[in-house]
Amino acid sequence: MHPHAPQPRRSRRAPIVIGTAIAAVLALTIGAAVYLTVNRSELPYPFNARPTASPSAPIRHGPPLRPGQPIDDRTLAKVSPDDFYFDLLRRQMTQPVGVVTSSLFLTPESFAHREPLEIYQVGIDHRTGADVHSKKSTVSITGYREGRPTSVTRCDRGTPYTYNLPASGYRPGWQVDTVGSCDLTKVRLGMPSSDGITPNGLSDRQATAYISALRTKDFSGFVVPQRPTVITTGGHRYIRQVVDFKPRKLADEYYWGDQIFIWAFRDAVGDVAEWPFMPDQFAGGQGLHAIYYIDPGTLLPTASKIRATALLDENGQPKEDPQQTNVVDYAFPKQLTPVTRKDHRPLHLTVPEGWKI
């Protein structure tokens, strides 16, 4: 598969009164998306060679920071940006329970105008099962039109229900959503359970393998973290770190970016179709520009803004630049809170430093 091939976009939910013809189109779209994603996940490393493992673990430049220790800019100045970021990934990956609230903005204008198509919230307790088929999960979706919430969909005891809000123009009330599904193996294309960079719920061994794969010699220069700093915004204190994921020209003479996450994940865990992992918002050749907002106490991410960068031609020059942006809020509770229909409050995003990137 070509690195510039368009990837399946998330299906756009409509009120439950959606017609049979539209439902059929959605079914065909999801089927095509599954085909593209499965083929992409199985895509071999160029020339069928596996990424070569690093001869040894990367050398640390100092002791890691510990959750709960006092942190200021002087503390952060003593820490390698690479060490800080990969320690952050390790903590995030090894959390047993995670809740991700996110939305993909297809244009810079929709992001700047705060106009999502949908906001998704997916929670997974990785302690409750061995694979995606058996893990306990929660799923909620809020549909939007021109910045206003129009519908709320929730999976209540395995059944999807939709509530049409006044802005939808349809009669309010909970109804069974005959188009939706609560099966993560079916909704993984449209309901991301990760930020597209890493999931949670991995073991220490899997986390080590994933990080090692990202840091192989073949992918050198792909992950470029900047020095973290302490900021205060909106009355909250965060550690802010910018990380760029720069496409690399590999053995097949193509530039690859987002696809590298899938190769690394496959090496660490296995079949991406059997794990709630959603790295395919973007084309395989796109890089990313990410801004993380990290809790200084837990040293876990609370939010991120992730923008896709331009596709590159064979000379490394920008070819296409769709500038899609994924906005993510993270939570790592001790256990999942069941989703019910006791209310119909819409989902919203917390965006530190406002709607800019």
- Residues 256, 247 contacting (CB under 8 angstroms): yes
> CA–CA separation, 190 vs 183, rounded Å?
11
> CA–CA separation, 40 vs 282, rounded Å?
12
Please tell me whether residue 315 adopts helix, strand or coil conformation.
Answer: coil
**Residue 240 host element (H or E):** strand 236-245
7 found inside a domain: no
One-letter identity of residue 214:
L
Please tell me whether residue 288 adopts helix, strand or coil conformation.
Answer: strand
Residue 80 burial (C-beta neighbours within 10 Å; 0-12, 13-18, 19+): middle
pTM of the model: 0.85
Residues 6+ apart with CB under 8 A from 144: 115, 116, 117, 118, 119, 150
Residue showing tokens 């519908």: 151
- Residues 192, 327 contacting (CB under 8 angstroms): no
> CA–CA separation, 56 vs 189, rounded Å?
36
243 found inside a domain: yes
326 found inside a domain: yes
Q: Which domain holds residue 93?
A: 20-331
Query: pLDDT tens digit string along 273-307?
Result: 666 565 567 888 899 999 999 999 999 999 999 99
Query: pLDDT tens digit string along 59-72?
Result: 667 778 999 999 99
DSSP string over 123-144: EEEGGG-SSTTTSEEEEEEEEE
- Rounded to 10 degrees, the C-alpha dihedral 81/63/195/296 comes to -90
Total of domains in the chain: 1
Distinct helix (H) and strand (E) counts, the chain: 7, 16
Task: Compute mean pLDDT per 10 residues along the chain, 357 residues long, and list them.
Answer: 47 35 31 33 44 52 88 93 96 96 93 93 90 86 95 94 95 91 67 85 92 88 96 96 95 89 83 62 88 98 96 89 92 96 95 89
The predicted structure's pLDDT at residue 13: 39
How distant is the alpha carbon of residue 314 from its chain centre? 28
247 found inside a domain: yes
Query: pLDDT tens digit string along 222-252?
Result: 999 999 999 999 999 999 999 999 999 988 8
> CA–CA separation, 40 vs 178, rounded Å?
29
113 found inside a domain: yes
42 found inside a domain: yes
341 found inside a domain: no
The predicted structure's pLDDT at residue 133: 77
List 293's β-bridge partners, or say none. 240, 303
53 found inside a domain: yes
Please tell me whether residue 198 adopts helix, strand or coil conformation.
Answer: coil
Count Cβ neighbours within 10 Å for each residue of 246-269 and write b for 16 or more, e otherwise: ebbebeeebbbbbbbbbbbbbbbb
> CA–CA separation, 9 vs 36, rounded Å?
11
